[in-house]
A and B are shown apart, each in its own frame.
Chain A
Amino acid sequence: MIKNAGVWAGVILLAYSAVLFQQSLLLDYYNPLGPGPGFLPLWLSGLLFIVSLLYIWDSIKREVIRLAELLPTGDARLDILLMLTGLCLFALLVETIGFVAAGSQLIFLMTFRKFKWYYALPTSILVAVLLLLAFQKLLGVSLPVNDLGW
């Protein structure tokens, strides 16, 4: 059961619905006008709780999905990890180092395994610069930049 992905997903859903249920209880179920802000959330979270239990039962009895099937393997695992790392670094750094540097690292992390680094790096920088120009100059949408303006 510990290696059953469905059970894990069901438990997470169960916890999610329990939190929502508890939060819904803090809201008015009914007010003088009619149903209050807690009315629908309470029913929804209660229903989700029941459905999550049924899902756990279904995952054990009928549709067993092993945890190993859920996780990527081989090259894909590294590709996905690099992408997620790049995304997190982007979100953490973009307001400090600017869009061009943060965007370049993201693209570079996603391309350096497929192309030689001396192709991947300038291409990444070029794409980031072009995107910045396209959004700021052509589309009038401002992106986060550093003190130097990029």
Chain B
Amino acid sequence: MDSIMPLLHGFETAMMGWNLFYCLLGVTIGMLVGILPGLGPTTGIALLLPITFSMPAIPAIIMLSGIYYGAMYGGTVTSVLINTPGEAASVTTCFDGYPMARQGRAGTALGVAAIGSFIGGTVSMFGIVFIGPPLAQMALSFGPPEYFALMVVGLVMVVGLMGKSLLRGMISMLIGLSLSMVGMDPLTGNLRFTFGEPNLVEGLDFVVISMGLFGISEVMLGMEQAIHTGKLPKVGKLLPNRDEWIPTLKAIGRGTGLGFLIGLIPGSNSVIPAILSYSIEKKLAKDPSRFGKGAIEGVAGPETANNSYCGGALIPLFTIGIPSSPTIAVLFGAFIMHGLTPGPMLFQTNANFVWAVIASMFIGNIMLLIMNLPLAGIWGKVATIPSSYMYPGIVIVSVVGAYCTGGRIWDIWTMILFGIIGYIMKKIDIPLAPIVLTFVLGKMIENSLVQSLIYFYGSIFGFLDRPIACVLLVLAFLIFSGSAIAGIKNKRGILANDVEM
């Protein structure tokens, strides 16, 4: 209950004119990013990050967060209307959303998805409000060994769950970690891997790398995969029939819980709750054969789960300062850029900022509900704009963004290089997500490891004396072993997708 008053103060800040405007701008861009296939929230946030350079921290993060959760709503529109997921988390919505649209029930699919997304998104925000502060308080007692172990679990989860194979995930993870070592060693001041190049002394820029890996490489891939949209189906009635309300609400309830819990796990992604929710709904249904032919629960559950996931995934960022996914990693970069350090101290040192951002997410979810229910048809028309028309815009904004990060032409070359690397990596099925996450976490991992070893007088077995760190490292080992065994038996299955979230 201690969270209520700060939250109300947060609403006061979030409702101020410009903050409200940036919230609307963020969720609108998020909707667009979600609708346009091939453009995900990671790219969207990375592209717009440089625009926020001159903005104060609160409106900047309000806008960038809006892109994150707004994209989850947007992805539904293309899944239902043109059978093409706008972002990875909406893949499952195609299974039943598109058949519903073909039956003349596109409006109902979009309506149910919007209601579910709103409920899932809002409930998960309450999760942040009530779980965030006590978790942050608990995290204050964490020392370097616990942080190190927690980050190892997160990395192992990313490597273990994403991508086609553990081997490829490890390659990506090690590349990200090695890139984070470039520049001055923060503990000793020694230069590492700079090869005499002054531009490398401060290391590689996270925003530039993200724009290359996600922005430029996506454009290159998109140029190869032209998507042609046919005639849009009629949107029609938005609400479900009377007899469909109870199963729909039950699916929404299950999706909310599932999405939120999975969001708390470092290294997870929004596709996991969506797929799990779909399979749970199918298992619980009286007639599972309806699934794939327009079952309303098949839209309500996964759409709720992926929005609920968004709120849950922000908790590790706000409370322990560890990004759990690439999109959150870019948000993490935005925090740092604006002089804020995500972590347990954030609730104490920048309480007004944290609560204003959380409050803005409640407001943003209401905005998105309004945008999606009565305006679903208009967003559908946006989906028919060929992506190729957007590419010159994306590329020029990326170039400007890369230049703005340091005012150097060097950053543009770096972005081009990472664009080509990202394109090749996607072609050879090496996931990009671990690179971004490990790049962000690299210095933190090194610092916590070195500090732990100094504390343990150089003995690695010192971790065994710290119960939390020990349990987490054992957990990481089990996940890694499980993933390796699954890889050998070729059973990585449906979760083996490289996604941006």
Contact = CB atoms under 8 A, between A and B. Distances in A.
A5 B164 CA distance: 16
A44 B176 CA distance: 10
B241 interface: no
Given A41-B178, A128-B396, A142 B192 contact: no
B177 A44 contact: yes
A141 B427 contact: no
Nearest to B393: A127
Contacts of A58: 165, 167
Contacts of A5: 427-428
B453 A34 contact: yes
A110 interface: yes
Contacts of B165: 58, 63
Nearest to A95: B409
Contact of B223 (A30, A76, A127, A128): A76
A51 interface: yes
Specify which of A13, A24, A33, A110 lies most central, judged by the most chain B CB atoms within 10 Å of its CB.
A110
B427 A40 contact: no
Given A34-B454, A83-B219, A128-B396, A28 B178 contact: no
Given A37-B187, A41-B192, A106-B395, A141 B181 contact: no
A94 interface: yes
B395 A51 contact: no
A18 interface: no
B450 interface: yes
Given A58-B165, A144-B403, A111 B392 contact: yes
Contacts of B53: 139, 141
A148 interface: no
Contact of B392 (A84, A110, A144): A110
Interface in B180-224: 181, 185, 187-188, 190, 192-193, 216, 219-220, 223-224
Contact of A65 (B193, B416, B428): B428
Interface string A83-113: 1101110110011000000010011001100
Nearest to A107: B392
Interface in B411-428: 412-413, 416, 420, 424, 427-428
A149 interface: no
Contacts of A28: 188, 190
B399 A33 contact: no
B51 interface: yes
A36 B188 contact: yes
A90 B223 contact: no
Interface residues of B, number: 55
A34 to B, nearest CB: 4
A48 B416 contact: no
Contacts of B175: 13, 16, 48
Contacts of A40: 177, 181, 446, 449-450
A9 interface: yes
Given A27-B190, A40-B446, A139 B51 contact: yes
Contact of B428 (A31, A33, A70): A70
A142 to B, nearest CB: 7
A51 B167 CA distance: 7
Contacts of A6: 428
Specify which of A37, A41, A88 lies most central, judged by the most chain B CB atoms within 10 Å of its CB.
A37
A135 B404 contact: yes
Interface in B148-194: 164-165, 167-168, 170-171, 174-175, 177-178, 181, 185, 187-188, 190, 192-193
Interface string A1-32: 00001100100010011001001100110110
Contacts of B224: 72, 76, 80
Given A23-B192, A65-B428, A79-B223, A48 B178 contact: yes
B423 to A, nearest CB: 8
A116 B181 CA distance: 48
B171 A13 contact: yes
B126 interface: no
B370 interface: no
A131 interface: yes
A145 to B, nearest CB: 12
A28 B51 CA distance: 40
B396 A37 contact: no
B132 to A, nearest CB: 31
Nearest to B225: A76
A108 to B, nearest CB: 9
Contacts of B412: 87, 90-91, 94
Given A84-B416, A95-B409, A23 B193 contact: yes
Interface of A: 5-6, 9, 13, 16-17, 20, 23-24, 27-28, 30-31, 33-41, 44-45, 47-48, 51-52, 54-55, 58, 63, 65, 69-70, 72, 76, 79-80, 83-84, 86-88, 90-91, 94-95, 103, 106-107, 110-111, 114, 124, 127-128, 131, 135, 139-144
23 contacts: A5-B427, A6-B428, A13-B171, A33-B187, A35-B454, A36-B188, A36-B190, A40-B177, A40-B446, A44-B174, A51-B174, A63-B165, A80-B223, A83-B223, A87-B412, A90-B412, A91-B409, A106-B395, A107-B396, A128-B396, A131-B400, A141-B50, A143-B403
Q: Which 3 A-B pairs have the closest CB atoms?
A: A34-B454, A37-B185, A37-B190
